Amino acid sequence: MPTDYHVPGGLSLDDLHEAATAVAANMIVGVEIGELETSTGAEDLGPLLNALAPILDRIAQQSR
């Protein structure tokens, strides 16, 4: 969900991608993104999806 406030020191997209890569090394049973702040608005979720790609790819592999 988009946020109305900035959290200093929050995860960058690079940090999120690194964490997603580590999580994707394991079986994934669920994922929830609790907050999101973008400079361009919620309509541009491409960078977030790219950061989460390791998890999304792992989920896709598990469903086969």
Tell whether 44 is covered by a domain: yes
Looking at residue 56, its pLDDT comes to: 94
Within a domain: residue 8?
Answer: no
Rounded to two decimals, what is the model's pTM? 0.74
Is 6 contained in some domain? Answer: no
More confident residue, 38 or 57: 57
Q: Tens digit of pLDDT for each residue in 15-47?
A: 999 999 999 999 998 888 777 766 666 667 888
The predicted structure's pLDDT at residue 5: 67
> 40 or 49: which carries more pLDDT confidence?
49
Angle at 15 (CA atoms; ends 26, 23), nearest 5 degrees: 5
Is 54 among the domain residues?
Answer: yes
Containing structural domain, residue 49: 13-24+37-62
Instruction: Give the Cα separation of 17 and 33 in Å (integer).
Output: 13
- The count of structural domains within the chain is 1
How high is the pLDDT of residue 39?
67
User: Would 48 be classed as within a structural domain?
Assistant: yes
In this predicted structure, the answer to whether residue 61 has a pLDDT above a threshold of 60 is yes
